[in-house]
Amino acid sequence: MLSSCRSDLRLVLALAALVLVLAVISLMSGPASITPRQALSGLFDGQGAEGIIVRDIRLPRTLLAILIGATFGLSGAALQGLLRNPLAEPALFGAPQAASVGASFMIAYGFAGATSFAVPLAGIAGALVSVGGLVAIAGRRASLTVTLLAGLAFASFAGAGTALILNLAPTPYAALEVAFWLLGSLEDRSVDHLLIAAPFLLASWILLALNARAYRALTLGEDAAASLGVDLNRTRMMVVVGTALGVGAAVAVAGSIGFIGLVAPHLVRRWVGSDPARVCLPTALMGAALLTAADIAVRLIPANPNATAIELKLGVVTALIGVPFFLAMIFRERRLLEGSPQ
Amino acid sequence: MSAILQAQGVGVRLGGVPIVNGADLSLRTGELTAMVGPNGAGKTTLIRALAGLLPFEGRIAINGRALAEISARERARRIAYLPQGNVFHWPLSVADVVALGRTPHADPFSGITADDRAAVVRALTITETETFATRPVTTLSGGERARVALARALATQAAVLLADEPTVSLDPRHQLVVMQLLRDAARAGGAVLAVVHDLALAARFADRVLVMDKGRIVADAPPGEALTAERIAAVFGVEVIPVDVGGATVPVASRAI
């Protein structure tokens, strides 16, 4: 057990180094090309054009990618631990979609500027309804079929809600703004976006990480976990609120981004094994690395400069990678899924 | 032998329907008590109430203190519970599964203590699971999984062990192995209550037998007194033949009435 702690530490350090390297690359990436040295000097002394580009434009974007990636990774790991299911992920449960309904309502009707607390609060409210409803419906046995069907229902309903908002948007410009925002992006995010999202994201990490031991005990099922002293109602409540805070705030500043919570824990398991408690910290770092890498990719892949969107959208890229990955996972586990009575 | 866990007038309702009524029982240190009864008699519901997992009427006390008065963590240190079915949702190693039994002793600010390590090693040794301690638990056979599940419950080193059908779906040899382990756990100073479907196993291994029928405890006595042919006929609806096994007379069901 001690040796496993040491190998976990090595993995955590390696992933932290990876996040750091990706962060520097992210500071260098964009329309104006900047060398690593210019990026670092711009970051630390803030002088000249490089200083403005790095500090005011690329740093908030990079930090948001790290924080949001870590949040999605950790909420995936937490939901998988709570529901004892490697296919659990906020996007499959309609959480980002439901958060989008709340946030896009605020944006479309101009109730809130993009940097007001009203957008994340509306996003959190939406995510809370979907994750809370899902955990309530999944119930004691948390059967895979019930969970996924309920998730599908929430996602579809949220999709309809968003479509309704687009449909009834007061102006075509508002509809267009919401439509692009829904695709998910970190382009042109400022320090203000960082400041309104960060408190919610940090609160979500604390709530989700505090239950790591409970996720491990839940390996034995709910009754055995309760008999080991785990307060199941408290754990459920903390995971629901933690996921909603994280996903709601992330969607409010970055739009809909999915599948990090599915991919990150899966990648980490090949090194740390299946223990749902040991997966948490490396998964958060892996999520941060994945989203930062995806956000670098959208800046490097040339998109049509005549189109309205100059960059590829981040949510599009994560879905294009995440969905085939999800299908591959289903394919690999299908015998287990078919054979399972749950 | 002193009573460590006592239940008085315990009643449990599930969804408004009374499942257990007026159950009185006491578990004593050093004793293996078997609970028998037909399907739907309320055995699992009663044992879950005793483990503190269900709301109940009446009083359940451990060491003289009511369950409601002690924290979940403290309760977990004193009462180990082995549910039906030996469920393992993730392919953890056997040693990691058994170490879960130490959860109630874990302190958020300290890692694994020497006591934890010793308890895990002891549980692995007595259940003879140490040879596959590093294997993923999901790759084991039914008999091996049952012993790992039992090792997990034993690793808590609780004063009371409640086991719900620990021998179900095991081959005859593993049924005997598991019953012997439960009796050893009692002899080593625990109070053990096991739900058992096989009347012969209950008669052979238990010091005392509780017979449940329609939510009530209808007998609480040594096996010879509790498992009479008349009572078995009335409760289970079967005729039995007494068979002598190693000096103990055990009932073997012969015909449905």
β-sheet bridge partners, residue A218: none
Mean pLDDT value across chain B: 92
Q: How confident is the model at residue A340 (pLDDT cuts 50, 70, 90)?
A: very low
Residues of chain B contacting A, Cβ within 8 Å: 48, 51-53, 71-73, 75-77, 79-83, 85, 87-93, 95-97, 99-101, 103-104, 106, 108, 111-112, 136, 152, 156
Instruction: Select the residue of A1, A228, A273 nearest B100 (Cβ to Cβ).
Output: A228
Please state the φ and ψ torsions of residue A16, each to the nearest 5 degrees: -65, -40
% of chain B beyond a pLDDT of 90: 81
> For A201, which DSSP code?
H
Which pLDDT score, from 0 to 100, does residue A311 have? 78
pLDDT tens for B224-249 read 999 999 999 999 999 999 898 877 88
Strand order in the sheet with B3-14: B17-28, B3-14, B57-62, B65-66
List all residues 6 or more positions away from A306 whose beta carbon is below 8 Å from its beta carbon.
none
Which residues of A fall below an 8 Å CB-CB distance to B? 1-2, 5, 84-85, 213, 216-221, 223-224, 226-231, 273-276
For residue A98, the one-letter residue type is A
* pLDDT of A224 above 60: yes
Contacts of B106 in chain A (CB under 8 A): 213
Q: Count CB neighbours of A219 within 10 A.
A: 24
User: Is B22 or A145 the better-scoring residue by pLDDT?
Assistant: B22
Query: What predicted TM-score, i.e. pTM, was given to this entire model?
Result: 0.89
CB-based contact A297:A112 (threshold 8 Å): no
Number of Cβ atoms within 10 Å of the Cβ of B142 = 13
β-bridge pairing B32-36 and B191-195: parallel
CA-CA distance, A296 to A313, in Å (whole number)? 11
Q: What is the pLDDT of residues B44-82, one digit of tens each?
A: 999 999 999 999 999 999 999 999 899 999 999 999 999
Q: What pairing do the DSSP bridges indicate for beta strands B17-28 and B160-164?
A: unpaired
State ipTM. Answer: 0.92
- Cα–Cα distance for residue pair B120/A178, rounded to 1 Å: 56
DSSP string, A138-199: HTTTT-HHHHHHHHHHHHHHHHHHHHHHHHT-SSHHHHHHHHHHHT---TT--HHHHHHHHH
Distance of CA B142 to the CA centre of its chain: 18
Q: Are A253 and A61 in contact (CB under 8 A)?
A: no
Q: Which two tokens stand for residue A208?
A: 């989700």
How many angstroms away from the CA of B192 is the closest CA of chain A?
A: 16
Q: What is the pLDDT of residues A291-322, one digit of tens each?
A: 999 999 998 887 666 655 567 889 888 988 88
Q: CB B90 to CB A231 under 8 A? A: no
Percent of chain A as helix, strand, coil, to the nearest 5: 75, 0, 25
Query: Which residue in this structure is represented by tokens 């002891």?
Result: B122
pLDDT band at A24 (very low <50, low <70, confident <90, very high): very high
**Mean pLDDT, chain A, whole residue set:** 86
Distance from C-alpha of B50 to C-alpha of B248, rounded to nearest angstrom: 30
Q: Which of A210, A228, A268 to mutate to test the interface with B (most CBs of B within 10 A)?
A: A228
Burial A224-255 (b: 16+ CB within 10 A, else e): bbbbbbbbbeebbebbbbbbbbbbbbbbbbbb
Q: Which of A99, A33, A30 is nearest to A68 (CA)?
A: A99
Tens of pLDDT, residue by residue over A187-213, are: 888 888 899 899 999 999 999 999 999
Give the torsion through C-alpha atoms of A139, A141, A142, A145, to 10 deg: -110
pLDDT for res A160: 93
B106/A230 Cβ within 8 A: no
| Residue B199 to residue B201: CA distance in whole angstroms | 5
CB contact under 8 A, B104 and A229: yes
d(CA B95, CA B119): 11
Whole-angstrom Cα distance, residue A42 to residue A55?
A: 7
Average pLDDT over residues B129-145: 92
Identify the closest residue of chain A to B102 by CA–CA distance. A228
Q: Return the closest-CA partner of residue A237 out of A208, A262, A266, A212.
A: A208
CB contact (8 A) between residue A1 and residue B89: no
What residue in A sits closest to B88 (Cα-Cα)?
A220
* CA closest to B134 among chain A residues: A1
A171-207 b/e with 16+ CB inside 10 Å = b? eeebbebbeebbbbbbbebeeebbebbeebbeebbeb
- Chain B residues touching residue A85 (CB < 8 angstroms): 89
Predicted confidence (pLDDT) per residue in A227-238, tens digit:
999 998 899 889
Chain-chain contact of B103 with A217 (C-beta, under 8 angstroms): yes
The DSSP result for chain B, as a single string, is: --EEEEEEEEEEEETTEEEEEEEEEEEETT-EEEEE--TTSSHHHHHHHHTT-S--EEEEEETTEEGGGS-HHHHHHHEEEE-TT----S--BHHHHHHGGGGGG--TTS---HHHHHHHHHHHHHTT-GGGTTSBGGGS-HHHHHHHHHHHHHHT--SEEEEESTTTT--HHHHHHHHHHHHHHHHTT-EEEEE-S-HHHHHHH-SEEEEEETTEEEEEE-HHHHS-HHHHHHHH-EEEEEEEETTEEEEEEEEE-
Q: Which two tokens stand for residue A298?
A: 């959208």
AA identity, residue B216: R
Answer yes or no: do B81 and A224 touch at CB < 8 A: yes
Do residues A193 and A253 touch, judged by C-beta distance below 8 A?
Answer: yes
Angle subtended at Cα A190 by Cα A187 and Cα A196, rounded to the nearest 5 degrees: 115
CA distance A303 to A301: 6
Instruction: Give me the pLDDT at residue A1, please.
Output: 45
Q: Is the model's pLDDT at A78 over the cut of 90? A: yes
Q: How far is CA B210 from the centre of its chain?
A: 12
Distance, in angstroms, between A229 CA and closest chain B CA?
A: 5
In Å, how far is B229's CA from the nearest CA of chain A? 35
